[in-house]
Chain A
């Protein structure tokens, strides 16, 4: 897996595709070019260093101790900061949507886009391990969308978003929805440069999920509780769920919705409109 540029022409690496693109011909070339440049300079660096080394080798055989003190996620955080700066400069409101698989991220997206697309320019980045299925659902609404297939990867990283954003040509004052890979664990550690992180949980999941997977709730700003139309049929205490979530993150703001019936969605739409242009 190439952790540097987010491109993945290799078997297991991430690929970035637009709906209708069979084998991302365009992006492949583009990426390949970039990749070549990268590995070239890398090699050069290495050879250089090797020469240097054999030279100094004659002088000493000693171990050297390097005090590094470097954050392991630093690379991801630097590129996330770069994304964030780009979003802020263009007044793009970027949301990182995270949840377990099947809690309704794509359905919430579809309803939101269908209802607000006349008023707000939307762009979408879809993250999944495989398939263009989600991107095709968004594409059917005539919204510009890019699919990132992470292959074996279980989460999006800021370099993948960086590459995807470059291909989206987002206009100013827009909303960018980044639908992360369905996974309540891994994406929590990876800042993508989003303005807000939105965790979605559905009423068919257990009310104790926030304390079972605390990291995701701890790092989120908004919690959408989806599928409230199913409340009469499922055994869940929504207040208990909220209390657990607040125990993990007392600053969480909740929306209770049903993407299917539209119940509660107006409050979510209002929040989007109120927050997309920070004063």
Chain B
């Protein structure tokens, strides 16, 4: 970074120009090394802009709404982040969530209405892992881009759910599944007397984020995942078992998807088999906006969480600043493209020489 300043001793007239250059280098380095700072900056900028346009945004109830809305997206995004880091992509996680959550609700109603909630979660995670591992196995064995494989499994899982499991909404959730979503962590009253509460299930997201951070940064598996995303050939030559890594990433994403499915059911107190599928793009966008490159090998948990917040805030906020909801997709789409272009050009321009 300082090489630009020292190598060519600037004449007095050029001081401002080279100083500017140095500053831009610094910014470029920062973006290349910590892309999540850009996400954070964007998030803060949007929040300030919205708060000026509509002060109602700064109420605690809005923040709690955003926190609540980011749980399911956040769990999905952590799974997608792990897969993206390993150089793959997954679009079937919403179908995994829909299939596990609906099947388990049916199972609970028909066979074990008094099942404790932690058993429900365990079964959901196990189901998610099974479906995810199937994904990983197929991606590894078929050796085709994981996008195509997971498009196939998405249809397989969702078609299987709607064709063989059921298509009706379940409004009456059994036992603890019905009450879990209502337990609140903190509660307070707003100015107009309505009670706002942050539900207990919100805690699942930070817990999952910390677990993901630990796996990615503190274990050998995390190293293997980033390495696989960087270069599959080198990873195999280093002695990592590439097959196990594949099974792990997709299985882990499946587990998070199963978890997200149950959270979705208990939060909405409704099991609708048509839900969730169709939100994949927003989740992938969130992870990419958090600085993970879609070609693999990069990304961070913090960035992913910031990306999720960004997408959730943009989703919730457009209406508040007076942009009609019909234009929402245009903005999100343009946002994805702009952010992607920004990250790509920045990373290329300021990449240190190899």
Chain A partners chain B = no
Residues of B whose CB lies within 8 Å of any CB of A are: none
Residues of A whose CB lies within 8 Å of any CB of B are: none
